[in-house]
Structure 1
């Protein structure tokens, strides 16, 4: 009989089992990381819209609504929401807030 070199089925299953456990341990951390990225992106978006609110106020001497910002082309309709496309923003007394 020839001496064949290679992995046995049991060795391959053990390796796949270990890889599966590592993936299961890492998934919650990855999901949390993506949530943090969405939060930071939304914070940056709110800050950008706040800047546009101030630019509108300087030009028109009044605080705008979201619709006024869109109509006067300070922001686009896509910018009514955060980059996650779920969280809306609103303006109250010149301050921009996230609406969940």
Structure 2
């Protein structure tokens, strides 16, 4: 029993723990907004790639069918998916200064 009383365990003080938690909180406040911005940039880049796919499918449709391609026709024929059509519309909703090559 005397041996247990003589052994001192070093631990963190309350002040040290508060300082560590403060530093972690500050780092989280700095990095979390940046991560959400990067997520939005990745989605925007993905939508830009989908726009290229849709435009390519529209050009292929026009060459094969000798008619004007629209998003609804491309979806009906299975050239693009509904999700691709939605991403195409989202891209041009955010970038209104650009002209569309495929009509909705």
Scaled by the length of structure 2, what TM-score is found?
Answer: 0.75
- Partner of 1:80 in structure 2? 85
Structure 2 gaps of 5+ residues are 94-98
More strand by share: 1
TM-score norm. by structure 1 comes to 0.78
> What is the alpha-carbon distance in structure 2 between the residues aligned to residue 89 and residue 15 of structure 1?
46
Conserved? CA contact 1:64–1:94, under 8 Å: no
Between structure 1 and structure 2, the one with the greater Rg is: 2
Residue number in structure 1 paired with 2:49:
44
Corresponding pairs, count? 94
SS of equivalent to 2:40? helix
Q: 1:11 aligns with which of 10, 16, 41?
A: 16
Contact 1:82/1:88 (CA < 8 Å) preserved in 2? Answer: yes
* Conserved? CA contact 2:71–2:102, under 8 Å: no
Return the offset for 1:59. 0.5
In structure 1, runs of 5+ residues without a counterpart are none
Stretch of structure 1 that moved more, 13-22 or 23-32: 23-32
Distance 1:81 1:88, change over 3 A: farther
* 1:88 Cα deviation from its structure 2 partner: 6.5
Q: What value does the CA root-mean-square deviation take over the aligned residues?
A: 2.8
Name segments (4+ residues, structure 1) moved above 3 Å. Answer: none
